[in-house]
């Protein structure tokens, strides 16, 4: 790899933003895009009357509900770095999409609501980051509202998540009394709600303000100094190696909605976020600076542009350099594919991409070649990156077309939405009636909405409730074992499985059929 290309790869910062719903993740994403010069004004997610929606929420249902239900990708340049942000759904019903997205990033930004602290979904996503050893940067949001005390929030990070923390800045006051941020790293004070030219105040050697300022006489400023002294004496030491290993999280306080503390966060993050790292594969670790191109499909999205009925495969480039028109091998099938139609993203805005390097996320127009988890490369033909997680669904619905004359629309819609990986398709053993399974209820609502709006197909959904899905070997299939408590079905690859009514039904089946092995996905 040439020096220039190596330098280019090192400038890539590819990260996901994770949080519990309503912690301010999408607002945070918008502010980062603002500093990247990508958008002129940040839309507020809840500002439905104004018609301003979050740039990263492109799907119609997201605009209606004011939530993110699909991962979106945004790219921009900032101070010599190429930033790739993957904004993930916060809602737990979409955790599978988020988990796969976390396989495609080099670091994560965890947004926490200062009033609520660490919530259930944050905990789940944090565990995935820990499992992969991804460096985590924490932004404690909504400091312009009354919330938990900063020291309490740090204690929560360490006790609940089991990760050491180092506050890069410290709030001066909170809520209506928020006066500013004491930036420990840059040694400045960032004042809140003052003219731009007065915003930053330099600190002297003793940590006091260099110039006379009313802030210095404030009780909140004195309290902040005392707490910082406590952190200096008893807090964790700053350790860059621990940050890179995901054992220490740098913590930033601020308010995304008020755009306070966000730019300082971005500037510091760009300095410390890791460049593209190696990815595990069946041929050993694939380094970003390998001479050949390689990448994997972590997401497939249909109808990002409903007018064109397109389908995009999102690819994380793991090594080398992408050039439009290059030929690669899809290693799952051994098929040679020419990458002629490629795109880069700004949520739903796209432009043709001619070149990209390791660390970048690119979109490939897909006519049905790709599946989630596919590896493409012009290097070793047997190369296969580690499998992406797929979850065993827990909720199931029978689904059929309301209008039998529109079966073509119905089948096309089901097939394409299933290939995105959010829902899974099953068929009854004999009649091949469609059953869809999902991890959460909201997935069904999104499915119904998209079938109607994107495929012009009204559907009938009949709940069959919560089931336990367990796969069996083909040689063990016996239709006599199919009952109301253990329904024999097949998945979209025609693999047989049972949908059990409950844990009791699973155990009863095991007792009666000890020779039949039952397996789950995850």
Check the annotation: does 380 bind a ligand: no
Check the annotation: does 511 bind a ligand: no
Rounded Cα gap, residues 84 and 405, in angstroms: 44
Check the annotation: does 50 bind a ligand: no
Phi, psi of 201 (to 5 degrees): -120, 130
Residue 485: burial class (beta carbons within 10 Å; 0-12, 13-18, 19+): middle
Check the annotation: does 135 bind a ligand: no
Q: Which CA distances in Å does 387 have to 100, 115, 289, 303?
A: 10, 37, 22, 26
Check the annotation: does 87 bind a ligand: yes
Check the annotation: does 20 bind a ligand: yes
193: left (phi over 0), alpha (psi -120 to 50) or beta: left
Check the annotation: does 89 bind a ligand: yes
Residue that has been written with the tokens 């460096």 in this structure? 135
Residue 317 structure tokens: 């480039």
Check the annotation: does 144 bind a ligand: yes
The DSSP H or E segment spanning 34 is: helix 25-35
Check the annotation: does 22 bind a ligand: yes
CB 384 within 8 A of CB 376: no
CB 358 within 8 A of CB 9: yes
Check the annotation: does 310 bind a ligand: no
Number of H helices, E strands in the chain: 12, 28
Check the annotation: does 143 bind a ligand: yes
CB 295 within 8 A of CB 357: no
DSSP string of 239-304, one letter each residue: -HHHHHTTSEEEEEE-BTTTTBSHHHHHHHHHHHSPPP--B-BBTB-B-TT-SS-EEEEEEEEE-S
Rounded Cα gap, residues 316 and 306, in angstroms: 24
Check the annotation: does 23 bind a ligand: yes
Check the annotation: does 92 bind a ligand: no
Q: Which positions make up the binding site? A: 19-26, 87-91, 141-144
Q: Which positions make up the binding site for GTP? A: 19-26, 87-91, 141-144
């Amino acid at each position: 790899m040439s020096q220039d290309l190596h330098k280019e790869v090192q400038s890539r910062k590819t990260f996901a933003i994770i949080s519990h719903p309503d912690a301010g993740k999408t607002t945070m994403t918008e502010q980062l895009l603002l500093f990247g010069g990508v958008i002129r004004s940040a839309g507020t997610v809840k500002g439905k009357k104004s018609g301003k929606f979050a740039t990263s929420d492109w799907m119609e249902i997201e605009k209606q509900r004011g939530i993110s239900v699909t991962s979106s990708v945004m790219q921009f340049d900032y101070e010599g770095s190429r930033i790739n942000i993957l904004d993930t759904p916060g809602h737990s019903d979409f955790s599978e999409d988020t988990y796969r997205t976390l396989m495609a990033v080099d670091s994560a930004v965890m947004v926490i609501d200062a009033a609520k602290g660490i919530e259930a979904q944050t905990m789940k996503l944090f565990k995935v980051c820990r499992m992969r050893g991804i460096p985590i940067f924490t932004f404690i949001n909504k400091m312009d509202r009354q919330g938990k005390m900063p020291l309490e929030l740090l204690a929560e990070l360490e006790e609940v998540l089991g990760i050491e923390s180092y506050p890069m800045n410290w709030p001066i006051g909170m809520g209506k009394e928020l006066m500013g941020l004491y930036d420990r790293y840059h040694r400045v004070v960032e004042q809140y709600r003052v003219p731009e030219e007065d915003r930053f105040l330099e600190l002297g050697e003793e940590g006091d303000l260099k110039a006379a300022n009313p802030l210095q006489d404030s009780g909140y400023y004195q309290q902040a100094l005392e707490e910082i002294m406590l952190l200096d004496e008893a807090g964790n030491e700053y350790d860059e190696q621990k940050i890179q290993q995901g054992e220490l999280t740098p913590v930033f306080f601020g308010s995304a909605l008020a755009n306070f503390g966000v730019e300082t966060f971005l500037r510091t993050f760009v300095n410390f976020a890791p460049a593209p790292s190696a990815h595990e594969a069946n041929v050993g670790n694939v380094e970003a600076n390998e001479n050949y191109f390689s990448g994997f499909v972590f997401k497939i999205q249909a109808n990002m542009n409903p007018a064109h009925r397109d389908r995009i495969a999102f690819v994380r480039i793991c090594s080398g350099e992408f050039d439009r028109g290059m030929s690669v091998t899809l290693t799952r099938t051994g098929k040679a594919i020419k990458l002629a139609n490629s795109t880069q993203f700004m949520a739903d805005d796209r432009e043709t991409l001619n070149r990209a390097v390791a660390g970048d996320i690119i979109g490939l127009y897909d006519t049905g070649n790709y599946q989630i988890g596919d590896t493409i490369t012009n290097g070793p033909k047997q190369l296969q990156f580690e499998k992406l997680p797929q979850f065993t669904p827990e909720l199931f619905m029978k689904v059929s077309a309301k209008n039998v004359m529109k079966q073509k629309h119905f089948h096309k819609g089901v097939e394409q939405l299933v290939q995105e990986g959010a829902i899974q398709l099953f068929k009854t053993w004999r009649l091949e009636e469609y059953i869809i399974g999902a991890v959460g209820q909201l997935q069904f609502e999104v499915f119904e909405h998209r079938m109607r709006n994107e495929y012009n197909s009204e559907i009938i959904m009949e709940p069959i409730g919560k089931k336990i899905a367990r796969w069996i070997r083909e040689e063990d299939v016996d239709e006599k074992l199919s009952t109301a408590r253990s329904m024999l079905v097949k998945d979209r690859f025609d693999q047989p499985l049972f949908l059990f009514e409950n844990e009791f039904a699973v155990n009863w089946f095991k007792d009666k059929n000890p020779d039949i092995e039952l397996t789950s996905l995850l």
